[in-house]
């Protein structure tokens, strides 16, 4: 009887450890939620959402450039920054274009691939892409937009 009790407790502990691993392991293997700009901007509260089968991204863009800027377009893409095509970028509404130094603005964009096709991913899929922000300083004499890019990764959430 003592023999059976010892093995019974050992098996019970093993089952508990396996249950805990099964519960936490999928969360540990998911792509972490990251939105990181390389220069002068910061990105907070990124949300990658599946809305009607199409992947859309929303994030807070904070101007860390030290002076006012005008954001004209934002592109969410799975292509690299070098392969990003500005013609596929989402225009920022006129009311949200001007950002004073240190200001933050909620930005929304539809994600597209290298050829301009909207990206479709199922909820809980892992998204890995790039955000490209096209902007100019308020006092710029050139009309060609400047570019800032960010790495964006995270799980695709189910939209409304």
How far apart (Å, rounded) are the C-alpha atoms in residues 88 and 91?
9
Strands 69-77 and 104-112: parallel
Mean pLDDT along residues 71-81: 87
Query: Domain ranges in the chain?
Result: 1-30, 32-158
Give CA torsion, residues 135, 65, 101, 58, to 10 deg. Answer: 60
Q: How confident is the model at residue 27 (pLDDT cuts 50, 70, 90)?
A: low
> Considering the entire predicted model, what is its pTM?
0.76
Right CATH for 32-158 from 2.60.40, 2.20.25, 1.10.10, 3.40.50 = 2.60.40
pLDDT band at 32 (very low <50, low <70, confident <90, very high): confident
């Amino acid at each position: 009887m003592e023999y059976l009790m010892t093995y019974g407790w050992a098996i019970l502990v093993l089952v508990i450890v396996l249950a805990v691993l099964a519960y936490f392991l999928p969360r540990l293997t998911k792509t972490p939620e990251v939105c990181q700009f390389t220069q002068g901007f910061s990105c907070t509260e990124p949300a990658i959402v599946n809305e009607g089968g199409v992947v859309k991204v929303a994030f807070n863009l904070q101007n860390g450039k030290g002076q006012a800027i005008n954001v004209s377009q934002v592109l969410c893409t799975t292509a690299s920054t070098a392969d990003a095509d500005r013609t596929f970028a989402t225009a920022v509404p006129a009311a949200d274009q001007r950002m004073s130094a240190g200001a933050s603005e909620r930005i929304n964009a539809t994600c597209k691939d290298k050829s301009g096709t909207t990206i479709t991913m199922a909820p809980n899929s892992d998204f890995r892409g790039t955000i490209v922000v096209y902007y100019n300083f308020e006092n710029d004499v050139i009309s060609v937009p400047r570019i800032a890019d960010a790495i964006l990764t995270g799980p695709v959430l189910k939209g409304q």
